[in-house]
Structure 1
Amino acid sequence: MAESFRTPALSKRIQQYIKDYILANDHRPGSALPPEGEIAATLGVSRTAVREAVKALEALGVVEVRHGEGLYVRPFNLDAIRDHLSYSLDFDADTVAEIYQVRRWLELGVLPDVLARLDEATIDRLQAVLDQWENEARAGIWTEQDRRFHWILNSVTGNRMLVLFLDIYWQLLNNLPYDVLKLPIDRLTTVEQHRKLFEVIKTRDVAAVHKALDEHYIDQEQRLKRVMAARGAEETTSHAPLGSDLPAFSIH
């Protein structure tokens, strides 16, 4: 066993061993794993090598280290995907428009299930979000009630993966290197748009809600593209060649 781990890909092999161990022992989120020293002894490698492998798995969201307690299986999450996308968007911010489009397709696709499961308790929660949102908008407070509104709406599906995927969109917007969230529109206008959408949602008419939601997303996409186009123009100006701000002249 020890010999097979003495390769250049040592960390990868230790990571695979830990993942295989989790599966072989049918460990669930929150299950305790052997201490790093025990893993090192089993594989015949140094504790430093195990520690590096654990750090890599922790970054991927597979395990978590609880200081003073040990190593545990972490609940499934999409943090690694989110973090990678956030980093990538620093270089290719235009991708956010495509991510927004994916979000639109997802929410429209699950709409029939959402409306079929929509109960009065959820309606009341959406109403409460809108009321709080309006109060915060009138006070000039930038809020995450937009995110909460859509989160509550889609949570009725009971599909945790859907909620996790959609939440990536919001986290990406929060992590962008510029303020896309604060699109050039009055805060109260945004609340009013969602109130109108809410009234249609209460009818549970799939076709009507689909139309209203699609129009809402198209409007958001268009405003997002305008903001990003303006951002691109600013960056082009800020990276203009030396001397480009000098008056033009011609040789006679």
Structure 2
Amino acid sequence: MNTFNVKPKPVLDTSLSLVDRVEQNLREYFAEANLQPGDAIPKESELALSMGVSRTALREALSRLRTLGLIESKRNRGIILTQPDILGSFERVLNPMLLDSATLQDIFELRLVLEMGITDLLFIRKSKENIEKLELLVAKEEETKDKFLKNRYDAEFHSMLYEISGNQTLLRFQKMLLPIFNLVHSGQIIGKTEVKNAVTHRDLLTELQKGSPASFREKMSVHLKVYLDKVDE
């Protein structure tokens, strides 16, 4: 149930465009009024009057929030807050063909950090069943000589680690990054580099079965060394 004892503040900050300021003030208002998903917000006329802006500027700001999935219009209720899809907007623009090389590099580095960070979850949530699935996948990778299949099994191995973590947001994010992962394999983002004494997926699987979070994390660091070294350059 929403209450309007907290009102939107007048738009005073001049460091941003008018619509940017209105959007920012609306976000602050939602938080200060403790509005929850499903709560209705005041009418456009009331919001515009309280903030001291035109309804045109207000509508553009509301349109932005609607695009982000923060609000929606409901018949007989007006505009209500919704549970935002935190990855939805990111997913719409995450096309490697539309991003420059520096951005692609940054995003892939983020992926590396995530793969290092899920280690504890893997050891908490691993099971005999998913270890067996990894075993079958690694065996297929070792048997094939086909480069395309090796790259495919490589991606599937890391995807399965995210599945084992049990975190659905991380899993969805990883799937969004697969096109970038494929570009990395092709050498279009980071040049191909040979690594001596590389850690294989078999090595990682062994650590997951018999090692510790610390030893697995160390092996994963070496496994990703070709990319981590590039980050340090």
TM-score, with normalisation over the residues of structure 1?
0.53
Give the aligned residue type for 2:84. Answer: P
Partners of 1:133 and 1:52 in 2: CA distance:
52
| Closer, same or farther: CA 206–74 of 1 in aligned 2, 3 Å | closer
Task: Spell out the pairing of 1:222-237 with structure 2 (5 A cutoff).
Answer: none
Give the aligned residue type for 1:75. Answer: P
| Closer, same or farther: CA 24–193 of 1 in aligned 2, 3 Å | same
Contact 2:35 2:81 (8 Å CA) reproduced: no
In structure 1, the partner of 2:205 is: 198
In structure 2, the partner of 1:72 is: 81
Equivalent position to 1:216, from 204, 219, 223: 223
In structure 2, the partner of 1:232 is: none
Deviation, 1:151, is: 1.6
Equivalent position to 1:107, from 107, 112, 115: 115
In structure 1, the partner of 2:3 is: none
Equivalent position to 1:15, from 23, 32, 53: 23
Q: List per-residue Cα deviations over 1:32-87 (Å, max 9, x = no partner).
A: 4337xx1333423554322210233345x361446878543343625667778979
Give the aligned residue type for 1:77. Answer: I
In structure 2, the partner of 1:54 is: 62
> 3-state DSSP class of the match of 1:197?
helix
In structure 1, the partner of 2:48 is: 43
In structure 2, the partner of 1:237 is: none
Task: Spell out the pairing of 1:1-252 with structure 2 (5 A cutoff).
Answer: 4-5=10-11, 9-28=17-36, 30-34=37-41, 38-44=43-49, 45-58=53-66, 61=68, 63-65=70-72, 70-75=79-84, 77=86, 90-91=99-100, 93-94=101-102, 96-97=104-105, 99-112=107-120, 114-120=122-128, 122-123=130-131, 126=134, 143=152, 145-153=156-164, 155-156=165-166, 163=170, 167=173, 171=176, 174=179, 179-183=183-187, 193-219=200-226
Deviation, 1:212, is: 2.5
Structure 1 alignment gaps of length 5 or more: 186-191, 226-252
> 3-state DSSP class of the match of 2:210?
coil
Structure 2 alignment gaps of length 5 or more: 1-6, 193-198
TM-score, with normalisation over the residues of structure 2?
0.56
Partners of 1:48 and 1:129 in 2: CA distance:
56
